Chain A
């Protein structure tokens, strides 16, 4: 509590003034947009207010938990993973148990990356370190999971004919969708690969910037940032792959019948077909 009050007395007041300056610039941009008939006043005002309150709330929470133990950190990360799964699941309508599928994929990606970082000593088990870094990994795993699910579903629906032609020729289900598994995993990795390629000369990410501000060695800050981005790539790759493979398992029945399709063949359609996902 003392720490909170101390922070309020010193840094928080300064931060409020700096935030006011940042908001002023944002509002100037909004008014500039208005001159060109781009009306984002309400949305911008709402987003700025919400973002400010959310970040203050997170700061207060982290300060309160500053000396929290590893179990508390794990609970927070699991909660974040659950929230991420709910968000990612919205990108895969029509599949069964999308939240469970997303949770498994994100937990696998984020969990493995965090475990490796803890095991190698890159991360300490301090809550104040573990939660922010873990949240970055989970957020990227969430994006990768959503992108992979969306891409795989779209590709399968766009290639029902080819997939069923393959099945009709005696191919096993995994073979018939192999090109779409590859494209889904690749799609989920591409933004992270671009991020890794541009690291350092296009952008200096937040962790490194934060370490430099707090006085860490610039070389170590750079190496640490590289590790973080590499782990983000790993977490995203694992999440994308797990999500795609779990969706592939759902896409077919035990009798190797494609389930991600209209239940009524096109030539037998009286009404608009509906995508269903019941088990046969």
Chain B
């Protein structure tokens, strides 16, 4: 179980992900407005803000699920448009607010990502991933019979199966009940520490941001309102 008081100390050196004047404008509405931020290797950055502040829009730009209308994103120092989108998204994994599992078995979902590039996970590999997310023996379960918390764990295992370098988390616990939310949060925190993963997590929960993130950035109406150490930025929230 993770120590819930603090995240690990400083991340490694080197920039894993950087946005430079990143913008997305739809019609006349600027969903994301000129955001420049760097995420260090091994760092956990929380993106916080009220509903409608542009948190999810910003996150979707980071794995190019949406196209920026201005600015660029650098992944390991390179403009991410130099990578084919499927390759980019494999390396920058994303866990969404809802699990959105594919019909079928848990094992089929976990094996989905590697299968896209012609790799077949062994039963043992799938078993290990499921064990890691606290679902041992769930391989042949039909996803329609899972609880919300279990489904989100499968979603996490499915993303980890791609062995991503960076993890994007879009309010992964907001659709869960309180107990499930805490368990999933613990799981995410353990995995981030264990793998020393670079992570950007969107949350509207300041307490959760304090528990999981080294730094936090606050968005207001699509603009970067503040960024810094989590406890400093969120001290009044």
Residues of A within 8 A of B (CB): 161-162, 164-172, 175, 253, 255-257, 263-270, 276, 280
Contacts and interface: CB of A to CB of B under 8 A. Distances in A.
B53 A168 contact: no
Contacts, number: 93
Interface stretch (B82-90, B132-140, B182-190, B191-199): B82-90
Nearest to A255: B85
B20 to A, nearest CB: 18
B21 to A, nearest CB: 18
Given A168-B65, A265-B56, A268-B56, A161 B98 contact: yes
A264 B112 contact: no
Interface in B93-139: 93-94, 96-98, 100-102, 112-113, 116-117
A255 B102 CA distance: 23
B3 interface: no
B90 A169 contact: yes
Contact of A164 (B87, B96, B155, B158): B96
B146 to A, nearest CB: 15
Given A164-B100, A267-B51, 13 more contacts: A162-B102, A164-B96, A165-B96, A168-B89, A168-B159, A169-B89, A169-B162, A170-B89, A170-B117, A263-B27, A265-B57, A267-B56, A276-B26
Interface string B189-225: 0000000000000000000000000000000000000
B60 interface: yes
B60 A265 contact: yes
B28 to A, nearest CB: 12
Which of A169, A172, A269, A270 gathers the greatest number of chain B CB atoms within 10 Å?
A169
B74 interface: no
B63 interface: yes
Contacts of B155: 165
Nearest to A276: B26
B116 A169 contact: yes
A268 B89 contact: no
Nearest to A258: B65
A278 to B, nearest CB: 8
B54 interface: yes
B100 A162 contact: yes
B55 A169 contact: no
Contacts of B67: 253, 255, 257, 280
Contacts of B98: 161
Contacts of B90: 169-170
B39 interface: no
Contacts of B54: 268
Contacts of B60: 265
Nearest to B161: A169
Nearest to A279: B67
A162 B112 CA distance: 12
Nearest to B26: A263
Contacts of A171: 86, 112-113, 116
A158 to B, nearest CB: 12
B105 to A, nearest CB: 15
B116 A170 contact: yes
Interface in B24-58: 26-27, 29, 31, 51-57
A172 B89 CA distance: 11
Given A168-B65, A267-B55, A270-B52, A256 B86 contact: yes
A157 B69 CA distance: 24
A27 to B, nearest CB: 52
A256 B100 contact: no
Given A255-B85, A257-B64, A267-B55, A168 B96 contact: yes
19 contacts: A161-B96, A161-B98, A162-B101, A162-B102, A166-B112, A168-B65, A168-B96, A169-B112, A170-B86, A170-B162, A255-B81, A256-B85, A257-B64, A257-B65, A264-B26, A268-B51, A268-B54, A268-B56, A280-B67
Which of A167, A265, A266 gathers the greatest number of chain B CB atoms within 10 Å?
A265
B52 to A, nearest CB: 5
Given A162-B102, A265-B60, A172 B97 contact: no
Contact of B93 (A164, A168, A266, A280): A168
A265 B59 CA distance: 10
A265 B162 CA distance: 25
Nearest to B94: A168
Nearest to B58: A268
A78 to B, nearest CB: 38
A253 B64 CA distance: 11
